[in-house]
Each structure stands twice: as structure tokens, then as C-alpha cells.
Structure 1
């Protein structure tokens, strides 16, 4: 049968050497036609397809469209690159889950069901709930949903449990330094994390031009805060022993900036060698620095001047230390 004899949107399909069949294809509606071409059954089926779902007006309020609009707007584009990367990763998962559904049709029970379905991966489950809440708020502002209805708002997140991250014990810090001499890459990364109390991503962006007699200048990628952090004795010794092979303090081959993956791998080898457990990872060095400063009797404002943390985060990191201090003070007054 020649293609010109077929009606609009109908084509012959089939692998070479196999039997051909008729196929209707219009926009996003594709379907095989079982009836023989030219028969009354064919024209009846064709008429239903032609006037059916393929020609219905496309949905305007869908998760997919909402996510696209969010990605194009300032609420997303003005966020830090690392945050954008995380949001995109998890919102694309939501697109796969709910794609062409209407956000207004989702209820709280559906959010909880999604959370519980991913309970074996609590960080994923929690992040999906948080991203849903962000998208619901955006949908409300667009007028897609009632002002007072964000089904994800207030949904309890899955507890990650205590002890998932802990400050490095003093002996572990000593062991790491003993096994990684000044001048090695692992020691430089370690002292940069501990001495500046910054995130790994931030220390990898630090350049030699950021170093002055006052310390190291940093603009935190996540919070956009600008800080000048005086050098610790250990960090200063490491910087003196580090060759200036390029713009970046922690450099890879030919002076190029070291990637996050390369830095994490170097630290993993060094941490494993000195017996550091999962609770004592790279980010726990930021936790460690916060506790070290708090032990000196510094106020939350003084801790924030180095770490750039919020009062809430400082309170979380120092909660055990502060509890012990208060308990000792109380007990010293008991007779």
C-alpha cells in the first residue's frame, strides 16, 4: 500500500522482512491500528483516534511544566550552583514520578506515601519532601493551588539518627597529622578544612590571591557570606610548604584546581589509614572546628565569625558540649 493512499497521521510500520502494520501518530498520541485499511472498522477506529486524546488541549498545570517554570525563574537561578545541582537532581526525580499529573490533585497522604516508599534511603526521602514543599509554594504563588494548601508543609522527615556525624576526637586528629606529613596533599586538605572551618567545596575554590596578612578571604558558596579567616599555626605551616603551581591553593596536575572527587578520594585513603570511621568524614572537620572554638569559651557570635554558621547550626553542633558544661555548673553547686 503506497503511503499517499493512507490518511493523515497514519503510517506503515514494521521491521524489514516482517509483516507491516498501521500506526497512528499525532503529537504525543501514538497507537497501533488493528483493523484492516479501508474497512469500516478501520475508519471507525481512525475517527476515534483523530478526534480523541491527540486533539485535546494539552494540560497546562502539570508537575513537568511547574518544574520547568521553576528552573527558569529567579528562585532557582539565584541559588548557589551546588544548591541548583541538588535541586535539579531531586526535582527531575519528581518529574519522573508525577510528570503530567496536576499538582493540585496531590494530597498530604500522597506525600507521606512517597516518603515512606523511600524510607530505606532517608536522605533521599527527606530531600524529595523538601523539594515538593518548595514546588508547592511556587504553585501557590502562580495561582495553581489554593493559598493555604501545601500538602508537603509540616510532613515529618525521617530521622537520620544520632551519631551519623561526630567531631573528630583529639587522638584521631593527632594520628592523622602523624601519618600525613606537612607537604602532602591530604594534610593540606585536612588543615584547610579544620583551620578555616569551611566546607570542602569552598576550600577547593580558595586561591593564593585570597591569602593576606589578615588570613584567607572566602565567600561561602551555599550562604554567599563573605569572611576573612586568620590562619591557624598548623595551616600557616602547610601553606608555607605548599608550592604555588597555579592560582589555586589546593591544585592538581599542572596547577589546575583539584576536583571534589579527587580531594574526597585523597582524604578517604588518609582517613582509612588512620582508622577514621564514617562518622568522622570530611564535613565532620567543620563540626570539629566548631567544637574546638566552643571549648575555648567563645560565644556563638565568635564561632560564627569563623564558620559563618547560623545560630541554629551552631547550637546543633555544640549541643552536647553545652549540655556537659551546664550539667557541671549545676552539679558544682549541689552539696
Structure 2
């Protein structure tokens, strides 16, 4: 009712981006023919939308998501991870109506991976991204991932100094080269296996991080340059298998971890990234300088800085104190 006039609106059954219902103006009810025709047409549209929503399966929703910019703009490495867990979600719930997936369904998916908390977290994160996108596009209204907590994960620990020293001087050429590359570039193992001789120009190694897409020009450390020189090749990937082919991430990770386990250490290659960041910080590099090598955010480097070896820092601090009082 406005200024003495009564207006009629149709509930479209949809909402805008703020969740507010969308209504469409109808003709004046006094014009029964126009009013009836408009109302019937709008009701038909709403019914078709409702039927389409009811028929939207998880498989169909995933198919639409893969066409969206949210997915297509992901880095290649991220896409591979998404594909793994979208595939799992489709295997478990593919034929279920997407709008009828419940919190209990997602909790079950997560809890089935209790022995692998990182994988459990990943399927939850990717499910959240999928359902959030689908809600934003009006395909569904369900929010089955709400209030499900991520598993707590322990951080990757740096390698013990004695293990790092042994690896850098190892008689195993592949271990020695791999650890030099991981440590002296502060990069992820996925980026290290993709490094080629052609990426090195004028003493600088070019890296395009697979996970973030960030491009880095990393000066080659003198010790790394000497180790790469021992490879005796000038083409192809820097690290190769015994047969001379490019090595995969899983193969190199298994090889490095098996070598460390033989020496009584349960470590992961990613721990060397923390060794490298700590070494840069302890050498007096600023957070920004360290991040320029590792490609991490300033916040991540600052977090690493807080976790540096307290004992080592305390010894150096005490030495400076004592020297100042002499």
C-alpha cells in the first residue's frame, strides 16, 4: 500500500547477494486477465527453478564449479589438489541432491580420514569452497560445512643440524643434490623437481611457484652452484632418476625420507624450507629479504622467526652480553 494505492508483488523464490528475498511487481489485480497471465508465468518460472534445484546433484554442481572462474583461475598445482578431493566428494555423494547434503554427510567424509588429518582438512576446505560458490550462484541454499572444525596439525619441523650437515655431504649424489636444492632455494619439493638447468642464467635461478604462481629470481648460493656443477649436464631437469628421466615429487620425497629414516630421523623434505628460513634470519636477513628468497608471505616468515631455535639464539645473546662487559 502506497499513497492509497495497493500494489501486488510475486515472491520469486530467489534472494539477492545479501540474502534478501526478490519480489517482482504484478499488474493491478483489477485487470484480471493481465494479472492472471503474469502470475501464471511467474509461478511457472519459479516451479521450473525449484525442480531444477531439486535435480541438481553433487556431480552436476561439481561440473558447473569446474567451469567457474573460482576454479579456472587456480594455479595448476592447486587444481590438481582440488581435482583429487572433488573426485572423492563425487565418489561418495555424487548422485545425492546437492541441496540435501547435510552437515552429517560432510562430518562423515572428514572423520573417515581421521588417521590422515591433513587430508581430512583438505576435503573439508574444498567442500566449503564448492558449496560457498554454489550458494553464491543461487544453485543451492544448503550450507553443510558450517561449524565443522579443522583438525589441528603439527608444523613441519626443521631438520636437526647434524642430519642436514650429513645430507649436504652425503655420498649419495641424488640425496646431496636434492638437499642442496631444497635448502639453498627454500622452495617446496614440487618446485624443486621442476627446476631445469635452463632456469639458471647469470647466477640466478628463475622459479615460478607451482602453488602460488609467484615468480622469483633467486641468486644461486655458491655451495649450490658447486653442487649443480657436479651433475655434469647442461640440459633437462637438474634432479633425475637413476634411469635419467625426470623425477616425480612422490619418488623424491620417498627417497629422501627413506634415507633419513635409515639414520633414525622421521622428517619431511618440507622441513628444509624452515631450515633455510631460519638460516637466512640468523644470518641477519630482514623478514622482507628472507621472503624474497622463499616466496612466502611476510606473515609466514615472521611466524617462523618466532619459532627459531631458542637455545641457539640464547647462546649467541649471552656471548654478546659477556663480550660487551669485558
TM-score range, shorter chain: 0.7 to 0.9
113 and 268 in structure 1: CA distance in 2 versus 1, 3 angstrom threshold: closer
1:245 CA displacement? 5.8
- Kept in 1, the 8 Å contact 2:197–2:238? The answer is yes
The answer to whether the aligner puts 1:157 opposite 2:144 as a matched pair is no
Alignment match, 1:168: 159
**Deviation string for 1:35-79 (max 9, x for gaps)?**
xxxxxxxxxxxxxxxxxxxxx989532111011112233322332
245 and 231 in structure 1: CA distance in 2 versus 1, 3 angstrom threshold: closer
- Kept in 1, the 8 Å contact 2:169–2:176? The answer is no
**Deviation string for 1:109-156 (max 9, x for gaps)?**
54345433432332222112111101111111220234xx64425531
The answer to whether the aligner puts 1:61 opposite 2:50 as a matched pair is no
217-226 vs 78-87, greater mean Cα deviation: 78-87
Alignment match, 1:249: 238
Measure, in 1, the Cα distance between the counterparts of 2:87 and 2:73: 19
1:171 CA displacement? 1.4
Query: What pairs up with 1:90-105 in 2 under 5 angstroms?
Result: 90-105=85-100
Number of corresponding residues? 268
Match of 1:134 among 105, 129, 151: 129
- Kept in 2, the 8 Å contact 1:196–1:307? The answer is yes
Measure, in 2, the Cα distance between the counterparts of 1:283 and 1:150: 34
Alignment match, 1:276: 265
The answer to whether the aligner puts 1:221 opposite 2:206 as a matched pair is no
Query: What pairs up with 1:40-59 in 2 under 5 angstroms?
Result: none
Measure, in 2, the Cα distance between the counterparts of 1:108 and 1:58: 19
Alignment match, 1:287: 274
- Alignment RMSD, CA only? 3.0
1:102 CA displacement? 2.7
The answer to whether the aligner puts 1:84 opposite 2:84 as a matched pair is no
Q: Could you list the runs of 5+ residues in structure 1 that have no partner in the other structure?
A: 1-55
